[in-house]
Amino acid sequence: MQSDNKIFDDFVKFVNGAAGTLAGMGREAEQGARAKAKEFIGGLDFVSREEFEAVKAMAAAARDDADALRARLDALEGKTTARPAAPKKPKAGA
C-alpha cells in the first residue's frame, strides 16, 4: 500500500505542477496580448471625445458662415442682374 500512495503522491505533485505552469503561461499570454493590443491601438490616430466635439462645432460654424455668405452673394448677384442694362447709343457718323 505504501508504494501505491507514493505513486499517487508523485502523480498529484506532477498534475499540480503542470496546472501551475499552465496557469502561469495563460497569465503571461494574456499580459502579452494586452500589451500588443495597447501598442496597436496606441499607434492609431484616435481623438478624444472633447476634440471631436470641438471640431464638430467648428465645422457647424463654418457651414453656417458659408450659408450666410452664399445668401449674401445671391442677394448681390440678384441686384446686379435686376438692373436693366443701359441701352447703347449709336455712334455719330456711322
Task: Return per-residue pLDDT of the chain as tens, 94 residues.
Answer: 455 688 888 889 999 999 999 999 999 999 999 999 888 877 777 788 999 999 999 999 999 999 999 999 999 988 766 555 555 666 665 4
Type and span of the H or E element at 72: helix 49-82
Q: Is 17 helix (H, G, I), strand (E, B) or coil?
A: helix
Please give the backbone phi and psi of residue 38, each rounded to the nearest 5 degrees, phi first. -65, -40
- The distance of Cα 80 from the centroid of its chain, to the nearest Å, equals 47
Total residue length of the chain: 94
- The sign of the CA dihedral 67, 68, 73, 74 is positive
pTM greater than 0.75: no
